[in-house]
Amino acid sequence: MGMLVMYTVSLQAEKVIAHRGASAEAPENTLASFNRAMGYGADWIELDLRQSKDDSLMVIHDETINRTTNGEGRVSDLTWAELQQFSAGYPDRFGNKFGNEHIPVLLQVLMLARGNCQVCIDLKNAGERLVIDLVRNAGMIGEVALLSYNPEKIARIRQMDPGVRLILATNNLTEADLIIAQKYGCFAIATSSLLNPLLVERLKSLGMGCWAGIVNDPVKGEQLYRMGVTGIMTDRPEWMTLLSGPALQANPNPFTSELSVSIPAMESAERLVITGYHGACLVDIPGPVTLPFHWRPSRMVPGIYVVIVTAGKRSYTEKVLFSGP
């Protein structure tokens, strides 16, 4: 058996944004997914919004309901009542586990999040004025931000309401994005590409946040945070909400046959996961997991691995380097 050398990960992203909720564990854009994300301590939940045939504001990503429900059709061709006939439990991915979930309307999600978590709304085809009025009537203008890839939509929203927070989304952060975001007083820019550290620092110097995603690897999350990113968008908020508290310990170090994983003053955990450096899952044990947990690696190639333990609604992690037998 080879040696494992420990490297501590201390991801402290300013904000964790749960992309469509805890969408790796529950159907995206459902109340079940948002509830899980808040339970894991996410600072924000992100959702997608589309308008139905009767102008209901439906929380769903795709133009059609085909992928995530047991029905078919375009959202814009169906009324709220017709949409409620279908399960939004994403059966192709989760089977019947979430069969009672339905496509929520925006107001349901706002009431769920109110006072607990901030809400980022990707507008898709939803009418801007309709959304702003609903958010203001709910008294949540300070708990919501509106996101769009479309600079013209960003401009329209700013003209409609000087007080609403805006997030410009872009696939590749450029100087032009900074100019647009500054012009319309954006709260942040969200990007999915590799980031230029100089642009990230310039964005922050202009008083705006930089959100990066979608990131499901806590090691990559740490790297982005150290670059200056202020928000991590993730399908795995349970892996990214690495809050302050007792550190995960792995002993002895070095070891020749067995690794003992523990957290001071904790006797059990809700979950223990061991992944490869790029996120491939090797071990995934649902709770309760008795601590300390003893792990004997086998048939592993030398490299960096990540141990993630969820306990008390917090996640703790350690990077480990397996040097081979």
Give the active site residues. 19, 61
Task: Please say whether the beta carbons of 325 and 2 come within 8 A.
Answer: yes
Q: How many Å apart are CA 4 and CA 254, to the nearest integer?
A: 6
What is the token pair recorded at 207?
Answer: 């008083």
Query: How far apart, in whole angstroms, are the C-alpha atoms of residue 64 and residue 73?
Result: 5
Instruction: Name the burial class of residue 227, with classes exposed (0-12), middle (13-18) and buried (19+) by CB atoms within 10 angstroms of its CB.
Output: middle
How far apart, in whole angstroms, are the C-alpha atoms of residue 105 and residue 284? 33
CA distances from 150 to 9, 146, 147, 155, 170 (A): 36, 12, 9, 9, 9
Beta strands across the sheet bearing 303-311: 4-8, 314-322, 303-311, 268-276, 281-290
Helix-, strand-, coil-residue percentages of the chain, each rounded to 5: 25, 30, 45
Residues 6+ away with beta carbon under 8 Å from 152? none
The answer to whether the beta carbons of residues 131 and 123 sit under 8 Å apart is yes
Residue 209: count other Cβ atoms within 10 Å of its Cβ. Answer: 18
User: What is the phi/psi pair of residue 246, to 5°?
Assistant: -60, 140
Distances from the Cα of 208 to the Cαs of 11, 157, 179, 182, 192, in angstroms? 21, 18, 12, 8, 17
